[in-house]
Amino acid sequence: MNPLFVEGVGILAPGLAGWAASRAVLAGERPYVAEPMPATIATLLPANERRRTTATVKLALHVAQEAMDQVAPISNPSSGERGKLSAATVFASSGGDSEVLDKICTALTQPGRPVSPTQFHHSVHNTPAGYWSIATGCTQPSLSLSAYDGSFAAGLLEAAALAFAEAARVLLIAYDLPLPFPLSARRAIVAPFAVALLLNPVATERRQATLRLTRTGFEPADRLDDASLERLRAGNPAARSLPLLCAIAQRKRKRVMLSGNDTALGVDVEP
């Protein structure tokens, strides 16, 4: 298959505070310590929007911004700054913003069913995509998807297909957060995790890694040696990206297997 070049990586999770700070951990050079996740910045959003948006939106936008900033400053209409770069986007999340859905379902049990208009318009799966396009002024196509625990692999395939079809950069963002009670008892997501990959179908001097994707049959996905990282990988659909991120951080030629649903996605990684 055609290669895809990784030009930017954003990551935020407990103990993984950004790509620069996480590389040594993911390369196995430093131990993983699940420290509390630092606050998201999402400085792209105007202050009043930032107040209204949820933790889910902030987390997704935080990693998206980190990945884009590694290549070029992005457009920021609220500060009047126009960046040189925009990219089509793919947002992959198993469950979207369950905090919002919990609030709506709770309101529906109350007299008069007072669903908040703001909650309702934040309830769509593409809310982070909407805020991202508003914050960056980017009018390019965007897809928001879910494939349950296989959401990252499905997002990577969609991002690749989109990059090849348009012969242009695509920004993939995968994110999931723990659900609030009582949904948390029925869907265990152990910690928040978000990752963004800026992918280019054209090789430039900015490439950090080269990826080649191969869909395979019912092969098992790679696991991680570190027990805490493996717990994170298995416990958050977006963290199923970790074997790939580790391979990129190690700067070695390697084939990784990412979990899809029943099937696996093979990714040949080269530095």
Query: What is the contact surface with other proteins in residues (CB under 8 A)?
Result: 1, 94-96, 101, 104-109, 113-117, 120-127, 129-131, 133-134, 136-148, 151, 154, 157-158, 160-162, 164-165, 181-183, 185-187, 215, 217, 260-263
Smallest distance from other proteins to CB 136, Å? 7
Smallest distance from other proteins to CB 70, Å? 22
Nearer to other proteins, 148 or 271 (CB): 148
The C-alpha atoms of residue 36 and residue 30 are separated, in whole angstroms, by 17
| Contact yes or no for 123/101 (Cβ under 8 A) | yes
Smallest distance from other proteins to CB 91, Å? 9
Nearer to other proteins, 30 or 214 (CB): 214
- Long-range contacts made by residues 245-250, C-beta under 8 angstroms, separation at least 24? 245/9, 245/11, 245/22, 245/26, 245/195, 246/26, 246/27, 246/28, 247/209, 248/6, 248/9, 248/26, 248/208, 248/209, 249/22, 249/23, 249/24, 249/25, 249/26, 249/27, 250/26, 250/27, 250/28
Smallest distance from other proteins to CB 22, Å? 27
Nearer to other proteins, 100 or 247 (CB): 100
Closest CA to 239 of 226, 248, 230: 230
The C-alpha atoms of residue 155 and residue 79 are separated, in whole angstroms, by 31
Nearer to other proteins, 47 or 205 (CB): 47
Element containing residue 195 per DSSP (H, E): strand 193-200
Smallest distance from other proteins to CB 229, Å? 24
Smallest distance from other proteins to CB 266, Å? 12
Is 51 strand, coil or helix? helix
The C-alpha atoms of residue 237 and residue 95 are separated, in whole angstroms, by 9
Nearer to other proteins, 69 or 102 (CB): 102
Nearer to other proteins, 18 or 266 (CB): 266
